[in-house]
A and B are shown apart, each in its own frame.
Chain A
């Protein structure tokens, strides 16, 4: 396949940045999208140009490091995957592909397609944990039976990989799906109950301070989420938050 790529290039955080066109030839449909970018980069290096910077690590859809807004969609046109799992067979010979960074005020660009998602970490610092001493001496794991349905729902929420696709795709750059996944995981488990009130209040407060927008329930996040995190989690967080506000 021969493709035209329109890629966002931005030297550093201060640079204004712009879209730049590249041609790439002989792309195999079996390549992953990032392997196609690897090929482009090695061609750029051999020509003496600077390669395109993009985040990636595990390349199997679990670490959450890869991002990219491809042809107007977070993680590209396919569903239930991250960019690293997107394969070129999803494109046709002669296609033009737009490749942009995940955009949000809370995710400033570091370079080219690399953005700073540490806002997510800070939200987790505010309450994404159970305060248990990590040096052992807890009760036996089977001492608290947990209803299978709740355990499964908590697991589903916990599969969030923190990639930021929800923010990138949301017209409001809202982080509600991300935050609600963590709040839900603990809200569904008995271990999380003790700190439930503080957790949701603190995490939402931090989320708001980071400059994410408000959720308007468009549902785009759920569609684009590589792990299929459900909107139910947002509803659950809304409930948890109201409950906590009335208490606190």
Chain B
């Protein structure tokens, strides 16, 4: 057991586990965000719950942050190692003949997602932390009303930001298109359900980012 993380398979397994965790998180994030399209109140309720419930804040949030960092750091470490395992490159390499663009460029879609997360943190997470833990205002209120929906709509006002979000979600879709079933393969799940899983993975990988794009555009065009 001790050597697990030092082995290639162990690392891949860890990558896959963190990926699976992040994909569940993404689903949950999406579920709450989509509420904003239907009902500002429901969205506010859910956001307030997530933002103030202790187990989410003090247990899940650190795990999530660790998961994100771990996934990125391990991804980069593996990429560097993998790069070193072929020192002289091919003069001609026809990668498209045998594998998808997504699978060969996880590092680039990953980079794009990382850049997005930085933006996203600046947009939402840092202000949240500032309000709640530095200013100590745990009420979630602004002028007597829940502030979450208002903040959300406010952010999607800028067409530049919306464009950035849309582009980032396209990369997320590309990342997921390979990442979803790749994670299952890495943990050793390749059996009679694999085909169905692959179908589901396409739905997830395209559906979720598309949903996020829809939310961003919805608020951009309906918000003001």
Contact = CB atoms under 8 A, between A and B. Distances in A.
Interface in B1-19: 1, 3-4, 7-13
B15 to A, nearest CB: 9
A219 B97 CA distance: 11
Q: Specify which of B87, B89, B90 lies most central, judged by the most chain A CB atoms within 10 Å of its CB.
A: B90
B104 interface: yes
Contacts of A214: 8, 11-12, 78, 81-82
B100 interface: yes
A19 B92 CA distance: 11
A235 B188 contact: yes
B160 interface: no
Given A214-B81, A216-B78, A224-B98, A235 B9 contact: no
B91 A100 contact: yes
Contacts of B89: 103
Interface centre among B12, B88, B98, B189 (most CB of A within 10 A): B98
Contact of B7 (A17, A104, A204, A218): A204
B185 to A, nearest CB: 5
Interface string A214-228: 111111100110000
B94 interface: yes
Interface string A46-87: 000000000000000000000001011100010000000000
Contacts of B82: 171-174, 213-214, 216
Interface residues of A, number: 51
Contact of A248 (B1, B95, B191): B1
Interface in A186-236: 204-205, 207-208, 211-220, 223-224, 231-232, 234-236
Interface string B73-99: 000001001101111111111110111
Contacts of B99: 171, 218-220, 223
A105 B83 CA distance: 10
A212 B12 CA distance: 14
Contacts of A118: none
A99 to B, nearest CB: 9
Interface stretch (A27-35, A36-44, A124-132, A239-247): A239-247
A181 interface: no
A64 B92 CA distance: 23
A238 B186 contact: yes
A185 interface: no
A36 B190 CA distance: 41
B9 A237 contact: yes
B103 A100 contact: no
Interface string A1-40: 0000010100000000101000000000000000000000
B168 interface: no
A6 B90 CA distance: 12
A223 B94 CA distance: 13
Contacts of B103: 216-220
B188 A72 contact: no
A205 B181 CA distance: 25
Nearest to A241: B9
B92 A98 contact: yes
Interface in B29-53: none
23 contacts: A6-B92, A71-B92, A73-B94, A73-B97, A100-B92, A174-B85, A205-B7, A208-B7, A208-B8, A213-B8, A214-B81, A216-B103, A217-B103, A218-B99, A219-B98, A219-B100, A220-B103, A236-B188, A236-B190, A238-B188, A241-B7, A241-B10, A245-B10
